[in-house]
Structures are given as C-alpha cells and as structure tokens.
Structure 1
Amino acid sequence: MDRHLNRREAVAAALLRLAPRLPEFEAGAILDRALASPSLRGAAPETAAWLCLVAYGRHVFTDYDALLDDGYDRDSARHFVLDDLNAALGAWGVRRLISEEETDRETDGEG
C-alpha cells in the first residue's frame, strides 16, 4: 500500500511539473489512467505522466477516435489531430509539444 501511495505521489508530481495549468479533474483522470496501465507500471513517473497526458489529450480533446471510427489508420489520425492536441497541451502549460516525427514513433500502447 505504501509503495502504491509513493508511486501515485511521484506520478502526480511529475504531471504537475509537465502541465502546471491542468485542471484538477483532468489531472485526476490522467493519474488514474497512468496508475492503472499495466504497460506503465515499471515506467519512470515522468514517462508515465507524459504518455498518459498525451493519450488523454488525444482521446478527449481531439477527433482522434472519430477518425479511427471513420477508417483512418492510427498514424493518419494522429497526423490530423496534431494541432488540436498541441493546443490542448499548450493550454495546460506544457512546454514540450508533439512533433510530426514523434507521432510516427510513439509506442505508448495507449492509442
């Protein structure tokens, strides 16, 4: 239990550093996702926070899922939502934005 709390605190602190203007309810959802993801259990807190922040922004604040539903492949859908994703990240105070090259090599497993 103590280890879980320490992990939660570490990922929460990383998320706050990455996105200082992220609303509390969004931060809670992202944090829960980071802690529940089996593929991120061994990841550094910064890595887990970043990957979940990007995945959350992509799924919640862009048309990514609709594009996938319309038959676009993952890389194409990521290309078309890049500007909207970066706008969401910027609004949250994120300094590191996603580049086209990063969308091509992402391996977060979170879509």
Structure 2
Amino acid sequence: MIATTKRRKAIAEALTLLLPAAPYSEIEAIRAEAGSRHMKELPPSIAVWLATVAHVRHQHTDYEQLLAEGYDRDAARFFVIDRTNEVLTSWRATRLLDPDDDDL
C-alpha cells in the first residue's frame, strides 16, 4: 500500500527533523520503509525512527553476520549499538539509541 499524500508529507517532515544530514540514498530507503504497509498504523515519527534504526542496523553494521553466527536478535542488537549510534551521529541525528533501553 502506498502512503497517502498527508502521510508521505508527515514522513518527509519527520525524516528532515530526525536526520538532517543523511545521504539522499539512505533517506529514500528509510522513507520507503517508513511508508510501508506494516508501518501504516504507527505515527509517522515513530515509523521513521523504527525504519531508520532497522536500516542502519542491517546496512551499516555486522548485525546480519552476528545473526548468521548464531547470536539471538537481542544480543546482536546489543553488539551493534555503538556502530549504529556512530552512523546516526554522522547523519546528525537528533536521537540515538540508549544502551540502557530494553527495546534496542
């Protein structure tokens, strides 16, 4: 399902606020994920945050490799949190992952 015009605009605004310096290609991938069907019930800002974290985790960390090596999802997320925050920081993100949060 394609997001409505109002939702697409809200997602674009949330992306601009969260990731002011992210590369265009990264923004477009995150925008597509945030606008996907399984995110439609979430507020745009939350959909953008979840899509951003998932994108960074899968594209810019060793998360997939850790899973392939047998680590469970929570352990793999724990081990990539610093790298995830490094990428977010390089994009001047206005929010980072908190290592003390149970919902990494």
Whether TM exceeds 0.5 here: the answer is yes
**Superposition deviation, residue 14 in structure 1:** 0.2
Equivalent residue number for residue 19 of structure 1: 19
Equivalent residue number for residue 96 of structure 2: 97
Figure out how many residues of one structure are paired with residues of the other and give that number: 102
Structure 1 segments, 4+ long, off by >6 Å, are none
Q: Decide whether aligned partners of structure 1 residues 37 and 63 sit closer, same or farther in structure 2, where only a CA change above 3 A counts.
A: farther
- Match for 2:25: what amino acid? F
Gaps of 5+ in 1: 107-111
Equivalent residue number for residue 29 of structure 2: 29
- Match for 1:105: what amino acid? D
TM-score, L = length of structure 1? 0.86
**Superposition deviation, residue 13 in structure 1:** 0.9
SS of residue paired to 2:100: helix
Query: What CA distance in whole angstroms lies between the structure 1 residues aligned with 2:18 and 2:29?
Result: 15
Gaps of 5+ in 2: none
TM-score, L = length of structure 2? 0.91
Using the aligned pairs only, state the percent identity: 41
Matches within 5 A, 1:3-14: 4-14=4-14
- Match for 2:22: what amino acid? L
Query: What CA distance in whole angstroms lies between the structure 2 residues aligned with 1:4 and 1:43?
Result: 14
- Match for 1:26: what amino acid? E
Larger proportion of helix = 1
- CA deviations on 1:49-104 (whole Å, 9 max, x unpaired) are 111011101110000011001100011101111110000000111132111233x3
- CA deviations on 1:17-52 (whole Å, 9 max, x unpaired) are 0010011111011010111141x2011111111110
